[in-house]
Amino acid sequence: MHSREVSASKGVPTRHQHGRLGLRFLSPHTWPRVRRPAPYSRITRQGGLHDSGCTSPSSPHPPPWLPPSAGFSHSAFTFGIESHISQSNINGTLVPPAALISILQKGLQYVEAEISINEDGTVFDGRPIESLSLIDAVMPDVVQTRQQAFREKLAQQQQANAAAAAAAAAAAAAAAATATAATPTPAAVSQQNPPKNGEATVNGEENGAHAINNHSKPMEIDGDVEIPPNKATVLRGHESEVFICAWNPVSDLLASGSGDSTARIWNLNENSNGGSTQLVLRHCIREGGHDVPSNKDVTSLDWNSDGTLLATGSYDGFARIWTEDGNLASTLGQHKGPIFALKWNKKGNYILSAGVDKTTIIWDAHTGEAKQQFPFHSAPALDVDWQNNTTFASCSTDMCIHVCRLGCDRPVKTFQGHTNEVNAIKWDPSGMLLASCSDDMTLKIWSMKQDSCVHDLQAHSKEIYTIKWSPTGPATSNPNSNIMLASASFDSTVRLWDVERGVCIHTLTKHQEPVYSVAFSPDGKYLASGSFDKCVHIWNTQSGSLVHSYRGTGGIFEVCWNARGDKVGASASDGSVCVLDLRK
């Protein structure tokens, strides 16, 4: 595998940006894309725990409350935002490292002491100080509750000891009076659920373990649908999670973006020399007159419609435009924090970005200048999508959706109705209907002709992470096929919807972990889904049946089809990118 490194700094000024938000993402399920990788908001979902630190845009010093090396950059960022620490006059250099952790530990120790020590200084009921979790420590009346619980437990133990002593005495008396004891026959043991290895059973399951752990067992992939190893190409080179991937719309070039602060362009054209090659697009910033890696995740990327340019968005707050051969063409710097989403318009003259700074920006792709910044959200903007070449929709953790137009100083439409963060929005191919999904577990369909939603679709039991329209129906190359909408959820299912009737037509249930990505094939006949269970599934959209399946080596964050519809790309949490060849 050949690689060529490309610097991304070209005159980029030094800017200290926040590390990624703590998308409720301190568990693996909160990783991808800002998107809730977990049931958190999209903001935390996409984050790994590898950021080297997070800083305020207004302060040149790392945040003092958490050490960069502790791996809590998400928590640090969230704490900084919510406490407005960047607006204070605190000199960060005077605050010792890990100050917040130290304060929290002392607070926990104080509560533990309250529970374990009487007012006169003696140890409560003669027992040592116990350890508390942070959650336990903030519970109401924790001191009284724990002390009362200990008294009750002590009383129960005393009663149990007395009963055991009485039973032992009775047994000894019975043994002395009876020379022989009856031996139970095999018929005395239940034949319906016989114990194994002397262990009790619960509801027919040994120790109840199967009932508890069955959900986390790897799915047995049917040999008839399993993609053979010779049809799967694993691309390695990234040094951290690969959050996103996207095929070039013209050729077999696959772009990927990672937490290692690089994007890569993989050449999978069959006529390329030496098999697949990779271009390494390093995202750098300018410090002390030198180009240094930004050490921030590449969170979003998108090819223009003719496949000549690739745009990337990063947690360092910059968007960048690259040529297909890996050269940096422009650096776009006006956001005041991480960029969460980025899209080209169809014409290819504008790029749209959304950031944690609560704004969206339309950029002139030719000059690299910001055409207009839209400051209408009251919280981080999570996703954007173009309706046409000058009008777009944006969604946010503020639960609102704004439709904005270049040249207008106010939203042309605002949709409200979600009761939690709105993770993703997508216009249908005709631009008439807008779909949105949220942490409130609902999928809503909106029309510019009315304020309330056209459909409020409620079927998922957990957060909905992303949605995709099928490339079918009016205004598509498949006008004779009915349009569908796919939704991917943290409840481990994918649902296919008939939007005209507002009903779910298929529930796809083979995944066993949160589903982060779905993508329709170019003809709309198949749907690819990727989950944190490491599996990529390919479904028949008409029957809802599973037709292909592949298990990789890491949780799947993104899946995408090439233009011909014969290859599926997938990016994973272990730094791998896999390409599945679906040709016979």
How far, rounded to the nearest angstrom, does the alpha carbon of residue 211 sit from its chain's CA centroid?
27
Q: Does the global pTM surpass 0.85?
A: no
For residue range 214-229, what is the model confidence (pLDDT) as tens digits?
Answer: 344 555 566 689 999 9
Kindly state the average pLDDT of the residues 107-119. 73
Q: Is residue 316 part of a domain?
A: no
Q: Is residue 461 part of a domain?
A: yes
The pLDDT-based confidence of 265 (bands split at 50, 70, 90) is: very high
Residue 168's pLDDT is 74
Kindly state the average pLDDT of the residues 556-577. 98
> Backbone phi, then psi, for 437, in 5-degree steps?
-135, 155
Closest of 518, 451, 448, 440 to residue 485, by C-alpha? 518
| Contact in structure between 112 and 147 (CB atoms under 8 Å) | no
SS3 of 460-496: CCCCEEEEEECCCCCCCCCCCCCCCEEEEECCCCEEE
Task: Answer whether residue 193 shows pLDDT above 60.
Answer: no
Residue 549's pLDDT is 98
Q: Is residue 104 part of a domain?
A: no
Which of the two residues, 112 and 344, has the higher pLDDT score? Answer: 344
Residue 30's pLDDT is 35
For residue range 274-320, what is the model confidence (pLDDT) as tens digits?
Answer: 557 999 999 998 888 888 888 899 999 999 999 999 999 999 999 99
Residue 5's pLDDT is 43
Residue 186's pLDDT is 36
Q: pLDDT > 90: what percent of the chain?
A: 58
- Burial of 576 (C-beta count, 10 Å sphere; 0-12/13-18/19+): buried
Kindly state the average pLDDT of the residues 10-36. 32
Task: Answer whether residue 560 shows pLDDT above 60.
Answer: yes
Continuous segment of H or E residues that includes residue 175: helix 142-177
For residue range 491-504, what is the model confidence (pLDDT) as tens digits?
Answer: 999 999 999 999 99
For residue range 227-257, what is the model confidence (pLDDT) as tens digits?
Answer: 999 999 999 999 999 999 999 999 999 999 9
The pLDDT-based confidence of 127 (bands split at 50, 70, 90) is: low
Q: Is residue 483 part of a domain?
A: yes
Residue 41's pLDDT is 38
> Domain with 535 in it: what CATH number?
2.130.10.10
Per the structure, the complete domain to which residue 451 belongs is given by: 417-584
Residue 171's pLDDT is 73
Q: Is residue 572 part of a domain?
A: yes
Q: What angle do CA 444, 450, 454 make, to 5 degrees?
A: 30
Task: Answer whether residue 191 shows pLDDT above 90.
Answer: no
Kindly state the average pLDDT of the residues 169-186. 56
Task: Answer whether residue 441 shows pLDDT above 80.
Answer: yes
Task: Answer whether residue 109 shows pLDDT above 80.
Answer: no
Kindly state the average pLDDT of the residues 268-275. 69
Q: Is residue 108 part of a domain?
A: no
Task: Answer whether residue 341 shows pLDDT above 90.
Answer: yes
Q: Is residue 268 part of a domain?
A: no
Give dist(CA 257, CA 284) in Å, integer.
Answer: 14
Please, which residues bridge with residue 351 across strands? 344, 363
Residue 185's pLDDT is 38
Q: Is residue 140 part of a domain?
A: no
The pLDDT-based confidence of 439 (bands split at 50, 70, 90) is: very high
Q: What angle do CA 541, 544, 547 make, to 5 degrees?
A: 85
| Contact in structure between 360 and 374 (CB atoms under 8 Å) | yes
Continuous segment of H or E residues that includes residue 43: helix 42-45
E strand spans, 387-514: 391-396, 400-405, 413-416, 422-427, 433-438, 442-447, 455-458, 464-469, 485-489, 494-498, 503-508
Domain count, the chain: 1
Give dist(CA 558, CA 299) in Å, integer.
Answer: 12
Kindly state the average pLDDT of the residues 105-120. 73
Q: pLDDT > 70: what percent of the chain?
A: 68
Mean pLDDT of the chain: 80
Kindly state the average pLDDT of the residues 146-164. 72
Task: Answer whether residue 167 shows pLDDT above 70.
Answer: yes
